[in-house]
Amino acid sequence: MHRLIALLFTLVISVPALGQTTWIRAGGVVDVESGTLLENQVIRIDDERISAMGADLQIPRGAEVIDLSSSVVMPGLIEAHTHLALSTQQRRDFGRFFITNVIETTGYRAIQGVTNARSLLEHGFTSIRDLGNSGNYGDLDLKHAIEHGWIPGPDMQTVGRIIAPFGGQFQLQPEHPELVAPEYLVADTQDEILKGIHQNLHYGADLIKIVVDDFAYQYTVDDLRFAVEAVNRAGTKVAMHVTTFQGARNAVEAGAASLEHAWQLDDATLELMVQQGTFLVGTDFPSYYAGYFAGYDESLAQKLYDERIERLRRAYEAGVQIAFGADVTDQKDGYTRGSLTISFISSFADAGVTPADLLRIMTINGARLMGWEDDKGTVAVGKHADLIAFDGNPLEDPDILLNVDFVMKRGDVYKQDGRFVWEVPSVIEATE
């Protein structure tokens, strides 16, 4: 009798639960790898993954069907450099980060992040790397809230607190050096760097971010290589914030997975990036945004923009792997976080990036950088059903990306017919 009960129990727990099946009838699907449009496709989704796709796939009678037969479908977009818990007003100085750090609590910033997460998802970004400036681990709280269904937002990778030399990215004054926290973990020796890495990974960060060269004193190649080796042993990657020629060179030689910003890149460093597979996440702002970085001096703004777009052009022509990242942190009249972020595509057009390559930069490349290429980046069997759709073909006109009508993440619909349709689930998954 006991054996029979045990056998029945085994059978019960071994039978998989019947999941939800959804069908999509698409007028076209962008194959981002080949840069072609597959016409009249049917996509079958079981739970959160694509289980079948093709022009001849038959939809069973009575099945749940999403009709996108007048639309073009492509994989969800990937934003590889954002800051959900940092929402600053545009100012004519760079003290805004410091002011945010001093007067806003982590809780308040996380609440801002709820709105920013929804806005990015609404504009087609189904996956993001949040690269810090989140107070005291506010990015991890946002990630957990999204994972457990409390709020809508993209799938996230987080860095926790950014590791940096003394000062972080702030100009401190001697009476209050503590004001660098909690925004940054100050690390001036290799032992301190290792401690910062361990702290971030202990609290759940997915990767590590290091500020290389914001001050005259910089981390050496040995310091950075030490950090990369420690992080790689833990099974993850290092993103490095760099702004100077030497900082970029040091980061590449040390084995950084990605250079963030990298405003100054010489041809030798670009060649080394290609050899080592280092990604550029250039955060290349549109021309209308340039004045913000130049104190609203129009001539200086144009000079900055031209220099950075030329650097992006050289990187693209050299064959550097590029992932899309906007680094948007500001609240700007007439824009949400999502609409401001997607507007950065204009910089790529100015740099001569083709529409097909732009789509790869915003999908496949981001997935590879994040180590999520088995789950995301293309519309393919076995991958997450992260799908967006619009009226028009972005292979012909990338500006189509500005008007996403449909968003699905992991098989759940968040936007349909241009309206955000997410509702609070009746059952919220318990925190582990």
Q: Residue 90 has what pLDDT?
A: 54
Are residues 261 and 282 both part of a single domain?
yes
Averaged pLDDT, 317-325 = 98
d(CA 402, CA 55): 27
What's the gap between Cα 32 and its chain centre?
18
Are residues 192 and 310 both part of a single domain?
yes
User: Which CATH number characterizes residue 60's domain?
Assistant: 2.30.40.10
Are residues 103 and 186 both part of a single domain?
yes
Q: Residue 299 has what pLDDT?
A: 79
In this prediction, residue 7 has a pLDDT band, given cuts at 50, 70 and 90, of very low
Are residues 127 and 14 both part of a single domain?
no
Q: For the chain, give the mean pLDDT.
A: 92
CA angle 146, 106, 386 (to 5 degrees): 20
Decide which of 9 and 80 is more confident: 80
In order, the DSSP letters of 305-332 are HHHHHHHHHHHHHHT-EE-------EE-
User: Token digits for 116?
Assistant: 């920013």
Does residue 101 sit within a domain? Answer: yes
Are residues 82 and 18 both part of a single domain?
no
Q: Residue 304 has what pLDDT?
A: 87
d(CA 325, CA 329): 12
Domain membership of residue 23 as a residue range = 2-76+378-420
In this prediction, residue 286 has a pLDDT band, given cuts at 50, 70 and 90, of confident
Are residues 403 and 328 both part of a single domain?
no
Whether the per-residue pLDDT at 267 is higher than 90: the answer is yes
The model's pLDDT over 81-100, given as tens digits with 9 standing for 90+, comes to 999 999 886 554 556 777 88
Whether the per-residue pLDDT at 4 is higher than 50: the answer is no
Averaged pLDDT, 385-395 = 98
Are residues 136 and 231 both part of a single domain?
yes
Does residue 431 sit within a domain? Answer: no
Percent with pLDDT over 90 in the chain: 82
d(CA 286, CA 122): 21
d(CA 432, CA 423): 22
Using the 3D structure, point to which of 350, 370, 390 is the last residue of a domain: 370
Does residue 309 sit within a domain? Answer: yes
The model's pLDDT over 116-174, given as tens digits with 9 standing for 90+, comes to 999 999 999 999 999 999 999 999 999 999 999 999 999 999 999 999 999 999 999 99
Does residue 397 sit within a domain? Answer: yes
Decide which of 103 and 321 is more confident: 321
Averaged pLDDT, 345-356 = 97
pTM of the model: 0.93
Whether the per-residue pLDDT at 1 is higher than 60: the answer is no
Does residue 427 sit within a domain? Answer: no
The model's pLDDT over 163-205, given as tens digits with 9 standing for 90+, comes to 999 999 999 999 999 999 999 999 999 999 999 999 999 999 9
Whether the per-residue pLDDT at 403 is higher than 60: the answer is yes
Are residues 64 and 111 both part of a single domain?
no
Q: Total structural domains in the chain?
A: 2
Are residues 260 and 356 both part of a single domain?
yes
Decide which of 187 and 305 is more confident: 187
Q: Residue 95 has what pLDDT?
A: 60
In order, the DSSP letters of 269-299 are HHHHHHHHT-EEE-----GGGHHHHTTT-HH
The model's pLDDT over 51-62, given as tens digits with 9 standing for 90+, comes to 999 999 999 999
Does residue 430 sit within a domain? Answer: no
